[in-house]
């Protein structure tokens, strides 16, 4: 095996594949990245739940297939100078040369690398920018506690040209509706995917391109899904769980409505929250034309700030986790926000607005549960 390749495509390919490697795999071969040299170079990595693959062009001098330590390969490739890089198999080692830099990588038994599931059939395509923004908007509400697996996932509901995404950690809920171009207009499927997996994907794709969404049939024993971006693919198993029912929380009934500019509100929340721990609720008091933010009590440090708002409803006060409030306001990606309370002292639904007096964008909703605050 021997080939010559430029650094930029090599670095991009190896970084993509290394994302699926586990630091504590159940078998040693999963520490490695497979380099398959044929008419093109294919890099493959897996943790058995998620498999990543990338294909690049190179000047191929000799074909072959090897398995090398994945994270070490990624570190070396990133550190090499911006010059052509030569890979050559020499016995049980792979020689990596770039300019005057030379490395010798040990190989792992490539025959021990597991047989991986194939990339599912393509179901359609999504605009890269829409996909990345939608995933980021929803995944922010996913849980981090691995003992509650269903709450670490993103609910993906496909029905024709519409996709609905949802995630919750019990304290907040994010729901996003988007459209795509399905290959079959009558497609219907619902899966739960790990939020961490698709969040990493959303951060690394070219937002100006297209994302191919692949999905195994709903009656298939292999509950697989995948994404293809250019010459890169990600294939993963769905979570064998179901997100708790959430639609009943998205009632259109409203006891109070608020409209406010996002930028000043974000700044004010950040300032007032400085005097308290970010898990301690921030008090918000609503009245005609005014929102008062307060934090701290008693002999502790205290802060308050007033902001102008458009408000309809009775005067009342509620409390929110300041970090969760910041997360939601940032996820909205709009200059103004509409906050609707289905009942006073109940959860709030946040929706973005282009202007103070415009209609809220109902395609993205961020629901936040209230917290008790110290009077």
Cα–Cα distance for residue pair 13/42, rounded to 1 Å? 9
Contact call for residues 321 and 367 (beta carbons, < 8 A): no
Cα–Cα distance for residue pair 233/119, rounded to 1 Å? 8
Cα–Cα distance for residue pair 101/83, rounded to 1 Å? 10
Architecture of domain 250-368: Roll (3.10)
Cα–Cα distance for residue pair 53/49, rounded to 1 Å? 14
Q: What is the largest CA-CA distance in the chain?
A: 78
pLDDT of residue 246: 94
Residue-wise pLDDT for 4-39, tens only, equals 999 999 999 999 999 899 888 889 999 999 999 999
Closest residue by Cα to residue 120 from 34, 36, 187: 187
Dihedral Cα 169, 175, 181, 185, nearest 10 deg: 100
Q: How far is CA 189 from CA 102, 186, 272, in A?
A: 50, 10, 44
Closest residue by Cα to residue 12 from 198, 199, 204: 204
Residue-wise pLDDT for 322-373, tens only, equals 999 999 999 999 999 999 998 888 999 999 999 999 999 999 999 999 998 7
Cα–Cα distance for residue pair 98/90, rounded to 1 Å? 16
pLDDT of residue 276: 86
Query: pLDDT under 50 in the chain at which residues?
Result: none
Closest residue by Cα to residue 337 from 265, 255, 286, 261: 261
Please, where are the H alpha helices in 261-354? 262-272, 322-332
Could you tell me where in the chain the CATH 3.10.150.10 domains are found?
2-112, 122-247, 250-368
Assigned superfamily of 2-112: DNA Polymerase III, subunit A, domain 2 (3.10.150.10)
| pTM (two decimals) | 0.92
Angle between helices 262-272 and 322-332 in degrees, nearest 10: 160
pLDDT of residue 361: 96
- CATH of region 122-247: 3.10.150.10
Cα–Cα distance for residue pair 33/270, rounded to 1 Å? 43
pLDDT of residue 216: 86
């Amino acid at each position: 095996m021997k080939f010559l390749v430029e650094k930029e495509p090599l670095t991009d390919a190896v970084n993509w594949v290394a994302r699926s490697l586990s630091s504590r795999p159940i078998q040693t071969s999963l520490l490695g990245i497979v380099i398959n040299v044929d008419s093109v170079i294919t890099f493959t990595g897996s943790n058995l739940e998620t498999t990543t693959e990338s294909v690049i062009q190179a000047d191929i001098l000799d074909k072959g297939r090897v398995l090398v330590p994945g994270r070490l390969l990624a570190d070396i490739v990133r550190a090499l100078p911006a010059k052509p890089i030569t890979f050559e198999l020499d016995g049980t080692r792979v020689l990596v040369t770039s300019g005057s830099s030379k490395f010798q990588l040990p190989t792992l038994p490539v025959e021990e690398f597991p047989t991986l599931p194939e990339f599912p059939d393509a179901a359609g395509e999504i605009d890269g920018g829409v996909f990345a923004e939608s995933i980021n908007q929803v995944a922010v509400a996913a849980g981090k506690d691995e003992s509650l697996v269903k709450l670490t996932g993103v609910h993906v509901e496909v029905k024709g040209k519409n996709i609905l995404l949802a995630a919750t950690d019990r304290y907040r809920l994010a729901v996003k509706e988007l459209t795509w171009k399905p290959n079959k207009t009558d497609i219907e499927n619902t899966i739960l995917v790990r939020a961490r997996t698709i969040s990493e994907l959303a951060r690394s794709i070219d937002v100006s391109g297209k994302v191919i969404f692949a999905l195994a049939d709903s009656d298939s024993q292999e509950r697989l899904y995948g994404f293809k971006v250019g010459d890169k693919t990600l294939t993963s198993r769905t979570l064998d769980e179901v997100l708790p029912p959430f639609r009943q929380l998205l009632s259109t009934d409203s006891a109070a409505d608020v409209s406010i500019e996002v930028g000043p509100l974000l700044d004010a929340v950040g300032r007032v929250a400085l005097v308290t721990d970010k898990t301690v609720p921030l008090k918000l008091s609503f009245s005609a034309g005014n929102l008062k933010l307060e934090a701290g009590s008693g002999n502790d440090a205290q802060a308050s700030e007033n902001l102008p708002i458009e408000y309809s409803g009775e005067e009342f006060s509620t409390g929110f986790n300041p970090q969760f409030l910041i997360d939601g306001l940032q996820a909205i990606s709009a200059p103004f926000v509409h906050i609707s309370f289905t009942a006073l002292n109940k959860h709030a639904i946040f929706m973005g607005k282009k202007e103070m007096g415009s209609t809220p964008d109902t395609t993205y909703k961020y629901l936040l549960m209230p917290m008790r605050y110290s009077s």
